[in-house]
Amino acid sequence: MRNLFLFLSRNYIFILFILLEAVCFFLIAQNNSYQNAATLNSTNKVVASVYSTISSVTDYLNLVENNKRLAEENAHLRTLLPASYFDTTVVRNHKVDTIHNLEYSYIEAKIINNSTNRRNNYMTLNKGSDAGIAPEMGVITGHGIIGIIKNVSAHYSTVTSFLHTQSKVSVRFKNNNYNGSMVWDSDNSPTEATVIDIPRHVPFKVGDTLVTTTFSPYYPEGIMVGTVKSFDIDAGSNSYRIILKLSTSFNDVSYVYVVNNLLKNERKQLEEKQKDAARGN
């Protein structure tokens, strides 16, 4: 307090000058229309700039919550897509009974740990069994596939990323339905994959799109996986080796959707019975 009084006593002339200048400006602005309008205009610009800055900061601070809400809304909207339903249309005595049962549901989650520079890459999600996530569920984004759930705890789950040497996904060309297998190995970058088992008579070109097929129980049919970047035929082979530019950016992905195939167990049990019967024969 003593220092404040010392400061005021030493600088009271300058402080008084500033106060008188302020009073003069105020009186000029109040009694002259031009100066009054100019002062109000300048003040409004300053206030508007301050409010704009505050709004920008607030929007930035709310980005996490907004992104989370959008991810939840997208997960709900995905369940409304035709690809999420199983068509059980039946013809009985020339009468068509059309029923569409929900086949896929989606759980939004956020990636809290991710690797892309190893031979076998994994991710960690911020949701687990309490949210309905279980092993062997597929994981996708709005741009493509991510991987498959490996292990689950109550509040977390790990994902075997597609960027894994054991990854293999059934894919097909969007425009002609010819299918093959998409794999990833250490020769590929995190932005590329290799498609094999496409016969050499199949017509396609650079830039063509490939999507998931019904052969996979983990992903809905028609999820984009990438576009053709280049291709060749190995000596002595009848199949193309296609380099695919992945549609998913694994380095900056944040929110994902865990795919719950509601009919997967039924299909798996039936196919196991068929395999057992084949072995018995």
Specify the DSSP element, H or E, that contains 5: helix 2-31
Query: CA-to-CA distance for 104 and 139, rounded, in angstroms?
Result: 12
In CATH terms, the fold of domain 106-264 is Thrombin, subunit H (2.40.10)
Residue with tokens 């105020």: 26
pLDDT score, position 37? 52
pLDDT score, position 97? 39
Phi, psi of 80, rounded to the nearest 5 degrees: -90, -10
**For the chain, which ranges sit under pLDDT 50?**
44, 47, 51, 88-99
What is the CA angle 250-234-222, rounded to 5? 40
Domain chopping of the chain, boundaries = 20-61, 106-264
pTM of the model: 0.67
Q: Which residues contact 68 (CB under 8 A, 6 or more apart)?
A: 108, 110, 255
pLDDT score, position 112? 93
In the DSSP assignment, the letter for residue 131 is G
Per DSSP, the residues of 72-103 read HHHHHHHTTSGGGEEE--EEETTEEE--EEE-
